[in-house]
């Protein structure tokens, strides 16, 4: 484990560091912030996970230096502040971290919100949608529900549950329908899940959002909704923070994709050619199946009845409330067909190693 001094040193970068290198450094440091500084550690600005995601939305090339996207007037504390003063600053400015500076603006230390707020907020909640039939994966889903298909020797839903719990999500609701008893038994046979999981039992297929109407208790804070057929390293805590910072009613995790057309694309007006683009590339963002919802969204739901998430989002947009995009730079794969299921086996070992597949079920 790194000492505080080593951790701090790993988070300080020069202003010419590229965005792509910054993402790698944030991942290695396991903290979603870098301190941009002069060689003598005089703070110039900070780059957070939020800044990286805004860069994606602004189509900024990741070879760009971080000083282009950094916050030049970050919230900072001064050496000598008491714990009470630091906590007050964290709460007042809603910061996840506070760099501490000496009187000349040099970085001396850094404090993180989780050091101060443990047990000081409502339990965080996620809802995992695991009720689908997995029709595109037949025939292997005729006897095994998709959430229990294994990747690197572990059921997909176990990988997701471990990720949520490791990020501090304290209560997870799992909606089940197709082969529900198999899923419930598999999950409850793992002791570490028992005190964190509650099942939402669909008596009929309720779509990609309908099970939210079955929640027995309304979450007190914004909560996650995640499809159960995903393999991803999306930072759930960063998504929750991003949602709050953007003031969204709903936030969708979106992944940038590029589609290359191998032909010349003709622009027609009737039978007249008005343009020709040779082998164009189209850039768009796809929905990853990970969401953050404000509790007020649940006002749209009845106790039962099918709903799909696109319809819920359309209603929220119609009401004039904000729906935002959380651009994903992390790994993401929807395990919805045989090709992606085969790819997941290779990707998991290559990107995540064997650690999760070798865990004890205790």
Q: What is the CATH number of domain 125-358?
A: 3.90.550.10
84's CB contacts (< 8 A; 6+ apart) are: none
Question: Tell me, what's the pLDDT at 357?
Answer: 39
Query: Is the Cβ–Cβ distance between 231 and 344 less than 8 Å?
Result: yes
Q: What is the pLDDT along the chain (362 residues), one digit of tens a residue?
A: 455 677 888 889 999 999 999 988 887 776 788 999 999 999 999 998 889 998 988 889 999 999 999 999 888 999 888 888 888 887 777 777 889 999 999 999 888 876 665 545 567 999 999 998 888 999 999 999 999 999 988 999 999 999 999 988 989 999 999 999 999 999 999 999 989 999 999 988 888 899 999 999 999 999 999 999 999 989 898 899 899 889 999 999 999 888 888 999 999 988 899 999 999 888 889 999 999 999 999 998 865 568 899 999 999 999 999 999 999 988 999 998 999 988 998 888 887 665 443 444 54
Q: How many CB atoms lie within 10 A of CB 143?
A: 9
Q: Where are the beta strands (DSSP E) in 294-360?
A: 323-328, 332-334
Regarding pTM above 0.85, the answer is no
Query: Is the Cβ–Cβ distance between 253 and 291 less than 8 Å?
Result: yes
* CATH architecture for residues 4-115: Roll (3.10)
Question: Tell me, what's the pLDDT at 320?
Answer: 95
Query: Is the Cβ–Cβ distance between 69 and 34 less than 8 Å?
Result: no
Question: Tell me, what's the pLDDT at 112?
Answer: 81
Instruction: Determine phi and psi for 58, rounding to 5 degrees.
Output: -90, 5
Question: Tell me, what's the pLDDT at 362?
Answer: 46
Nearest by Cα to 56 from 277, 324, 303: 324
Percent helix / strand / coil, the chain, rounded to 5: 35, 30, 35
Query: Is the Cβ–Cβ distance between 292 and 223 less than 8 Å?
Result: yes
Question: Tell me, what's the pLDDT at 204?
Answer: 86
Question: Tell me, what's the pLDDT at 304?
Answer: 59
| Residue 358 structure tokens | 């070798």
Residue ranges of the domains in the chain?
A: 4-115, 125-358
């Amino acid at each position: 484990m790194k000492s505080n001094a080593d951790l701090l040193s790993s988070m300080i970068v020069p202003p010419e560091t590229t965005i792509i290198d910054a993402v790698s450094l944030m991942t290695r440091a396991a903290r979603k912030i870098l301190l941009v500084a002069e060689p003598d550690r005089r703070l110039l600005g900070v780059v957070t996970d939020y800044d990286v995601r805004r860069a994606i939305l602004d189509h900024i090339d990741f070879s760009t230096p971080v000083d282009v996207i950094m916050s030049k007037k970050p919230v900072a504390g001064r050496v000598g502040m008491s714990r009470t003063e630091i906590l007050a600053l964290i709460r007042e400015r809603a910061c996840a971290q506070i760099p501490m500076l000496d009187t000349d603006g040099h970085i001396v230390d850094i404090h993180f919100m989780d050091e101060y707020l443990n047990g000081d907020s409502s339990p965080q909640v996620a809802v995992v949608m695991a009720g689908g039939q997995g029709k595109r994966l037949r025939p292997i889903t005729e006897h095994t529900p998709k959430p229990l298909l294994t990747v690197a020797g572990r059921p997909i839903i176990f990988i997701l549950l471990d990720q949520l719990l490791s990020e501090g999500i304290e209560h997870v609701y799992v909606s089940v329908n197709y082969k529900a008893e198999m899923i419930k038994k598999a999950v409850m046979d793992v002791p570490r899940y028992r005190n964190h999981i509650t099942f939402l039992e669909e008596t009929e297929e309720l779509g990609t959002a309908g099970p939210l109407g079955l929640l027995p208790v309304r979450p007190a804070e914004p909560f996650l909704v995640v499809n159960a057929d995903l393999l991803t390293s999306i930072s759930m805590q960063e998504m929750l923070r991003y949602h709050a910072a953007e003031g969204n009613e709903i936030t969708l995790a979106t992944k940038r994709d590029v589609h290359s057309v191998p032909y010349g694309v003709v622009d027609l007006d009737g039978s007249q050619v008005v343009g020709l683009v040779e082998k164009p590339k189209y850039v768009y963002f796809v929905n990853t199946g990970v969401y953050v919802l404000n509790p007020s969204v649940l006002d749209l739901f009845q106790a039962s009845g099918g709903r799909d998430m696109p319809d819920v989002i359309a209603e929220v947009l119609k009401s004039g409330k904000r729906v935002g995009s959380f651009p994903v730079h992390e790994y993401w794969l929807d395990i919805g067909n045989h090709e992606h299921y085969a790819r997941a086996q290779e990707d998991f070992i290559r990107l995540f190693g064997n650690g999760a597949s070798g865990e004890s079920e205790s």
